Structures are given as C-alpha cells and as structure tokens.
Amino acid sequence: MRVAHSTVLKQCSGQWIRPNFIDRGEVIPAQVLGAILCTLKNPAQDSQRHKYEEERQIMKFTIERNSLLKTLNHVQSVVERRNTIPILSNVMLEASDDMVAFTATDLDIAVIENTPANVAVKGSITVPAHTLHDIVRKLPDGAEVELSLAEGERLTVKAGRSRFQLACLPKEDFPVMSAGDLPHRFKLMSEELKRLIDKARFAISTEETRYYLNGIYLHVAEGDSGSNLRAVATDGHRLAQVEQEMPDGAMGMPGVILPRKTVGEVRKLVDEFEGGVDISLSDTKVRFTFDSTTVISKLIDGTFPDYTRVIPIGNDKMLEMDCKVFAEAVDRVSTISSDKTRSVKLSMDSDVLTLSVTSPDSGTATEEVVAGYQADALEIGFNSRYLLDILQQIEGDSVQVQLADPQSPTILQDQLDEAALYVLMPMRV
Amino acid sequence: MDDNRPELHLHMSSKLVGQEGAERAFLDAYNDDKLQHAWLISGPKGVGKATLAYKVACFMLASSAEGTSAGASLFGDAISPDSLTVDDNNPVKQRIISGSHGDLMVINRSVNVKTGKLRNDIVVDDVRKLSKFYSQTASEGGWRVAIIDAADEMNINAANALLKNLEEPPEKALLLLVSHAPGRLLPTIRSRCRQLALKPLGDDAVVDILRSQYPALNDSDYKTLAALSGGAPGRALELAEGDGLGLYGRITSLMMTLPRLDIPALHQLADSLASIKADSDYRLFRALFQDIMQRLIRFSATGQVAPAALIAENQLFETLGPTRGVDQWLDLWEKMAEQFTSADAVNLDRKQILLTCFGKLAGRA
C-alpha cells in the first residue's frame, strides 16, 4: 500500500505526526499504518494516560491575552487569507526561556515577534494564524491564555472556561526566510522612517511589467551638501524623492528596491513603536528591527532606472501659493472632470492662478486662487488625482511649483521640507 | 484546495529509475559551471520527467543552502557533487514536500475560482506568477527554481508570457519545463531551452518497479502492464492502480467482435466510462485505445507484430489490418485524436465520443 505523507496527515485530521515517523514513499504495510492511526485517534481510556501526557508535553506556556493579541496583530497581517498550501496559513510558535517567538510569512516577507511568556515546556509548533488570532480576539480582556501541546495531540488553547484544540503542523514544514549576511546596518528614528515612506510610497507603480518600479528605491545619493540617504518612487507619471541625513553605517550600502508590500507592513509597524529602527541590508535582503519585532523581506531583483534624468533643472517660472487653498480648489473643480482623465487646467497670469475643468459630458468649472507668479502667462494641465496626492504630502503652508512649459515635467516642493521633491508630468488639455 | 500536493509528494518520494544518463548530463553542466537557465525535460508520459525535475530542484536548493551556510571552501574548490540525490532528512527536502520552500515555484493547471474546477490548460495568470517570483530576490538566499508541469498544457497566451522569462532570466534562476510532446511547444520556447530527453525503460526494469509496489500480481500481469506502459514506469503504476488490465481486456475483446460490433457490450463500456466519477478510467481508456490503434497502424504499415506480452492483439491486427490502407488508417487515427481533444476542450458527451470512435471502426471495417 502506497500512502502519501499528506494523505496520512489528512487522515489524522491534522494531528501532528513527526515527519520522520513515516518514511515517505516507502511501502508501509496496511496493518502498521492502521496501528499508527489507531494510536493517534485512540481516546483517553486509561488513567495512566494523563500522567503520560504530562511527560509527553512538547510545548507549554501561558501568556496574557492582550500581549498575545498585540503580537498576533503584528504578525498575522502578512499571512494571506487564501492559501493553497496549508502551512503558509500558519504562524510558528517557538517557546524558549521566558520568551515566545511568533513567526508569520507569505514567502516574501517574514515578521517575527518575541513576547515574554511564562514558559513551562520549551518547544515549537505551527498553527493557523487567522484562527488563533480570531480566538484570542474574542477572549475576555486580561485573561490568561494557556497554550499546550502534547505529543500526537492538537494544540490546546485554554483561557478561563474556554478550551480550543487546533490542528497543527510541524515546525520543520515551515518556510525559512534566511536573512543571510547583512553587512550594512544603520539606525533611523521611527519618525524619520515614517517620513521617508509616507512621502514616497504614493508614487509607487502598480504596473507589473515594470516590476522594478513596484517599490521604493532606497540608496545613497551624493548631493551638494554631501551624501544623503534617499528614497525614490515613481510610476512614470510622477516621482517622489525624499532625502534624509546620512545615518551612521549607511555609507556604502547598495541601492535596494523595497517591495510595495514590505513598505506597507513596515509602515504599519512604525506607528506601533517609538524610538529607533535598526535597518540591516544586503543586496538581496533587508531586515527592520523594531524593539521586539523583526521584519525580514526579499528585495526587488532589478535595476531602478536613472531617475535623475527626468528631474528638470532649468525650470525658471516660479509659482507659489497656499497649499491648503490650492488643494481644496483642485479638489472642487475636479468634481466636474470625467472619471478617466481627471485633468485640470492651470492658467497663470501675474499673481493669479485660474483652475479650470471642461468636460463635454458634465459641464465646466473654474476657480481663481491668489498666487505668487511673476513670469509670462502659461497654461498647463495636470492629473488632479496626482496633484492632490502630492499636495497631501506637503507639510508647510505654501507650495512652490517650478514650471518650464506645458510639455515639460514640473517640480513641486515643500517650503517646510526642502529635502522632499516631487516631479509631475503635465497632461495635454 | 491542496490538489497538487499528493502529486508533488509522489514525485518527491518516487525513486527515479533508469535515467542515470539524464542525471549525469545535468550534473556535468552543474559541475562545469555551465548550467543552462532553462531545461526542457521530454519523454513519454510516466517515464519520470516530473520526478527528475523535482529531484533537480531539490538538489539545487539543498546545495545552495549548504553553500550559503558554509561559505566558500577554505581550500580552493569544493568537491563537485556526483549525485543528484538529497538525503531524506535534509530540511530543504522537508520544506519542498510541505510546499513551503520560498525558492521553488511549481506551475501547473490551477483551479478556476469561479467554477471550482481544475482548468484544462495552464493560463496566462499562472505563468505571470513566475514573473513575480523572478522579480524578487531569493527567500533562502540561493537559487530560484521553477517547474512547469506540464509545459504542453500551457495555452498560447501562457506560452507567450513565458517567453519573456525565458529570454531574460535573472541570475541564479533555473526553469525546468516538463513536456510529453516537445514538438508541440512553440519553437521559440524549444530553442531557448536545453533539451533533456528521457528514454523509455526496458520491460524488465518496469516489471521490477511494479513488483516492488504491487507485490500481489502474477508474472503475466506484470509483463502485460510493462508492455502496455511503453517503458514508462509511472504509466505502468497508473495502469496497475486503476485496473488498467481489466479495461484493456474489455477494449480488446470488444475490438475482437469487429466488424460486427457487439453493440450492447459497447454501450456498457461507454456508460461505465462516461460518468463524471470515472474520469481517471476514461483517461486510461483513451490512452490504451490510442496505443492499440497506434500498434495497429504500425502493423499495417510495416508488419511489425505486437510485443510478446500483448499476443492477443496480433489476431486483431490480422483481421482488422488488411481492411483498409495505411493512409486510411492514419486518416482515421487523426480524426479520432481530434475528436478526443475537442471532447475535452468543449466538454462533449464522452459516451457519444466512444460510440462514434467504434462506429467509425465498424463502419469501414
């Protein structure tokens, strides 16, 4: 009789069998297999069993519900909801001295969090992440949760009078995200990292054919005032470039492209922690270490295009105005523009900016905004959505726009944050 | 949802038999540092192509894992491996079996989310997963290996989408295409791969494999199965598992009644194969029937008799063979093949297909 390993696992309805328990691919006589299954399914009958179970504990720890929930919140978000491979829906629990490490991964990103716990028996196992998260979420505030696992059993979750038994899979089946050697290490304050991400991520491309644009390009750039750490994102229509004072240890690091999903996960965690974030990277991996949480991610394996060529240097027509007033005006007039193009026309004359939208279907809209503008009159069109995305990132009261002509890329800059620069391609209107 | 896992496990656990030459060819390329980025593994169905592909994948991933942990050898070059076999206790192998190795991507027919059914071909979205896989760095730090099983199942859009990856593969990426009929692949795909043809095994080798898996059969059954499998152990096992012998008997005895076809027997056979549950039986029938037709045509063209284990077929050949010319036989064969393919493509009634095929045989026989 020929039995697939996974079939046996299934027949045991998810109970844990040690992988070497059954020699895969070998011929297992039906009686032997039956005996194995019987021992696994055999209900507790003799009184010895309880004692036996105590001795056979593989893992046991208790942990406070809120800290468990917080940890699971952090790690489970990377786990995909729909998975064809069961192990990928799981979170790995590794109990060691007074600490339990929770690991979740989608094969591209791994999130690991260490949480203090009262560990009775050291050990490890994997269980469905979303199920465990949902259970813990529904437990009462402040409850003590006990997780225990005996050999050949399911994982038992006990809290108060609730008791759950969860199907689990061995740790050996769990994916490994090896960081390898990460020679470049530096530290950023969480506000600094937040700024780099927020001001660049809106411009990340979603076009899969140009996969090298599907992330934030983090690299060292030589500027007028020495080297800076620079984050760049672009989708071919707009570009965001944010600079940061060079942190210690970042000098000589390779330019890396952080995938969009990684950027999102890291950004979520930044909000949860204060203080510094340790970043280590090589040309194939990156690791972010917050206090007790670590994110290890793959990078995009490609070359970021030479974006400096698209940043214009000779734009001589300066337009300056109140950022909030401008943004609101763009938002108002764009109501009229048709869904597809979303274009808005900017007409500049001395100290007056007129925004206008003409749509053959729905009508027209115009609004005048007071602006500082001294150059020759100019008309230029932009995608209102892109314009608003950029204006949202501007912290200062006023925004400075550097224009050349209706066909050339335009630069937008924040008066308060000169280290952030946005480039926007005009539209024909 | 885990439909391909038993199959994956089967390939990982099966021993590859009789393909030492192909294994050697791959190892030599590996040891000479001249590893091609794409390999087209071809050969008859069930000969061990996918098993070889998984073996190669396991070898590559296991050896790159060793390479990264141990670093470069202190005393010059490391010893070149002389076998593709990876120890069963290797954690990399364990992860491949559980489907959780981040650097192995297997592309096969996927389940259509809307209907919940397995698709008939590999569609473009399945192949695009490969682009995403190749666009990110390796998760365990070494090679990235992708297996397309089987490349023949790709539809034209999927095949075209694959070309991009074949033309500009990233570094340290290996693509293994499994193909039962490489001639049907796009020439642009074929020309970008190194071909590795697996040869059919001798009957004795197939019998040995059968004996180890199904010890209860008798000698003549082993021989018949081996002859029917055409040297592909996977097919022989499939036949042994799905009562291929019984089915073969029914087909031949039905064909014996030609030209006066035994209509009730035909209906009985067609009914038993047409139900949804009998899908695997139907596939077995199709393969067996087409093989018999092939041998019949070969007989009428060259006079080559059936192998000793299939002695019963000779009588069939002698009665049926002379009834039409080789060109007519070929014509009929082509029409039947077409019918089978179109039946799968648009879900025609299988019973009707069977009736038509035998009707055609009888009509002119």
Cβ count near B227 (within 10 Å): 21
CB contact under 8 A, B132 and A172: no
Minimal Cβ distance to B102: which of A5, A169, A175: A175
3-state SS track over chain A: CCCCHHHHHHHCCCCCCCHHHCCCCCCCCHHHHHHHHHHHHCCCCCCHHHHHHHHCEEEEEEEEHHHHHHHHHHHHCCCCCCCCCHHHHEEEEEEECCEEEEEEECCCEEEEEEEECEEEECEEEEEEHHHHHHHHHHCCCCCEEEEEEECCCCEEEEECCEEEEECCECHHHCCCCCCCCCCEEEEEEHHHHHHHHHHHHCCCCCCCCCHHHCEEEEEEEEECCEEEEEEEEECCCEEEEEEEECCCCCCCCCCEEEEHHHHHHHHHHHHHCCCEEEEEECCCEEEEEECCEEEEEECECCCCCCHHHHCCCCCCEEEEEEHHHHHHHHHHHCCCCCCCCCEEEEEEECCEEEEEEEECCCEEEEEEEECEECCCCEEEEEEHHHHHHHHHCCCCCEEEEEECCCCCCEEEEECCCCCEEEEECCECC
Interface membership of A30 toward B (CB under 8 Å): no
- Residue A36 near residue B247 (C-beta atoms within 8 A): no
First to last CA, chain A: 73
State pLDDT tens for residues B76-105.
Answer: 455 677 788 888 888 888 888 888 888 999
Instruction: Let me know: does A100 contact A85? Beta carbons within 8 Å.
Output: no
CB atoms within 10 A of CB B139: 26
> Would the pLDDT of A55 be above 70?
no
Q: Say if residues B224 and B248 touch (Cβ distance below 8 Å).
A: yes
d(CA A115, CA A137): 17
Contact B10, B163 (CB under 8 A): no
First to last CA, chain B: 47
For residue A6, what pLDDT is reported?
43
d(CA A30, CA A17) in angstroms, rounded, equals 17
Tell me whether the CATH fold assigned to A56-173 matches the one assigned to A186-307: yes
**Strand A109-116 vs strand A184-189: parallel, antiparallel, or unpaired?**
unpaired
Residue ranges covered by each domain of chain B: 5-197, 242-361
Output the pLDDT for position A42: 47
**Would you say B40 and B177 are in contact if contact means Cβ atoms under 8 Å apart?**
yes
Strands A285-290 and A352-359: unpaired
What are the sequence ranges of the domains in chain A?
10-40, 56-173, 186-307, 311-424
Integer CA distances (angstroms), B166 to A132, A303, B111, B170, in order: 42, 19, 25, 10
- Which helix (H) or strand (E) covers residue B114, if one does? none
Q: What is the pLDDT of residue A237?
A: 92
List all residues of chain B from 248 to 287 with a beta carbon under 8 Å from chain A. Answer: none
CATH tag, B5-197: 3.40.50.300
* Cα dihedral across residues A280, A286, A291, A293: positive or negative: negative
Q: Which residues does chain A have within 8 Å of residue B98's beta carbon, measured at their own beta carbons?
A: 85, 87, 169, 172-173
CB contact under 8 A, B9 and A85: no
Task: Inform me whether the C-beta atom of residue A19 falls under 8 Å from chain B C-beta atoms.
Answer: yes
Per-residue confidence (pLDDT) for residue A11, from 0 to 100: 45
Report, as an integer, the average pLDDT of A101-119: 93
Q: How far is CA A48 from the centre of its chain?
A: 49
pTM (2 d.p.): 0.79
Is the pLDDT confidence value at A297 over 90? yes
pLDDT by residue, tens only, chain B of 365 residues:
334 455 666 677 677 888 888 888 898 888 888 888 999 999 888 888 888 999 999 999 988 877 544 444 444 455 677 788 888 888 888 888 888 888 999 998 888 888 878 888 899 999 989 998 999 998 887 899 999 988 988 989 999 999 988 988 888 899 999 998 888 899 999 999 999 998 888 888 888 888 888 888 888 888 888 888 888 888 888 888 888 888 888 888 888 887 777 888 888 888 888 877 777 888 888 888 888 888 888 888 887 777 777 877 888 888 877 778 888 888 888 888 888 888 877 778 888 888 888 888 877 54
Domain A56-173 has CATH 3.90.230.10: no
Interface test with A, best of B104, B105, B137, B144 (most A CBs within 10 A): B137
Per-residue pLDDT at A33 exceeds 60 = no
What percentage of residues in chain A have a pLDDT greater than 70? 87
Reported as a pLDDT band with limits 50, 70 and 90, residue A4 is very low
The CATH number corresponding to A311-424 among 3.30.70.20, 3.10.150.10, 3.30.9.90, 3.40.50.720 equals 3.10.150.10
Q: A108 near A293, Cβ under 8 Å?
A: no
Max Cα–Cα distance, chain A, nearest Å: 95
Q: Which two tokens stand for residue B263?
A: 């209509």
Residues of chain B with C-beta less than 8 angstroms from the C-beta of A27: 212-213
- The tens digit of pLDDT for each residue in A201-234 reads 999 999 888 999 999 999 999 877 788 999 999 9
Partner residue facing B94 (CB), from A19, A208, A212: A19
Domain A186-307 belongs to what architecture? Roll (3.10)
**DSSP-derived pairing of the beta strands A343-349 and A352-359:** antiparallel
For B168, nearest residue in chain A (alpha carbons): A302
Pick A316 or A53 by higher pLDDT.
A316
ipTM of the complex: 0.74
Least Cα separation, residue A299 to chain B (angstroms): 5
Structure tokens at B342: 């179109």
Task: Tell me what pLDDT residue B78 has.
Answer: 54
Among B100, B136, B213, the residue with its CB nearest the CB of A298 is: B136
